Amino acid sequence: MSHNPPFTDWHGKTVWLVGASSGIGRATAHALHAQGAKVFVSARNQQALDVFAAEHPGAVALAVDAGDAASVNAAAKVVLGAGPLDLVLYCAGYYKEMRATEFDLQIMLEHQRVNYLGALYVLDAVLPHFVKRQAGHISLVSSVAGYRGLPKSLAYGPTKAALINLAETLYVDLQDSHVGVSLICPGFVETPLTAQNKFTMPGLIKPEQAAQEILRGWASGQFEIHFPKRFTFFMKALALLPPVLFFPVIRKFTGL
């Protein structure tokens, strides 16, 4: 299998989105529902999930703390108990900018808990189901911040780099099991997370645009879905530079 099985018709498909109360997750849940999918939406914010479910008939709201294994397992039982699951999207995220001069272990560990361990808890809950069925799709939301080490990204960047490596290895390992794997690497998207940034964000797009890019990527069976291209291709080129060039370029562009 050189590509993922494409998703071109969502009618009758079931999707579980973890991290769907706002931003990219919510916009993607909305887009999938509009295409006829049955969507289970999870996040910590029960109120936001209930609002989504009320606005999208048939959608199911399941509150989850993604960084808590028992919470994820309880929700997964409900999702898998409702019938075959076709795709799980892990888009829960935690972000606070940090530099090494302000190292804070608790903030580092919270990034790890939500951004990476949460993905592992979801995998633990759904992967055996997919492998047994020889069908299904795992999609992990990373970030261009995971390509290389960047200033102010001490806590966030390493967790996103871990997701990139995880997705690549899953893809390699699961090709013969007919389980699809995709990696989503957004640039800057208008979300509650990026609202914290005090700098100009190049190529900033709306969550609705991000959702359409993701659905297009799934429809064409892509492994890595990255957007907006005008920014992500620049970041990819930057990531290819050897350290002797990469570090001076980053310092020049960021002034840090």
Report, as residue numbers or ranges, the catalytic residues.
156
- Closest CA relative to residue 205, chosen from 73, 23, 6, 4: 23
Does residue 158 have a cis peptide bond before it, meaning omega lies within 30 degrees of 0?
no
* Structure tokens given for 209: 């645009």
Going by C-alpha positions, the residue among 147, 146, 130, 150 that lies closest to residue 138 is 130
Q: Which residues contact 58 (CB under 8 A, 6 or more apart)?
A: 33, 38, 39
Q: Could you give the dihedral angle defined by the CA atoms of residues 72, 219, 131 and 183, in that order, rounded to the nearest 10 degrees?
A: -60
| Nearest alpha carbon to residue 82 among 14, 17, 24 | 14
CA atoms within 13 A on the CB side of 6: 8
Task: Take residue 229 and report the two structure tokens written for it.
Answer: 């291209």
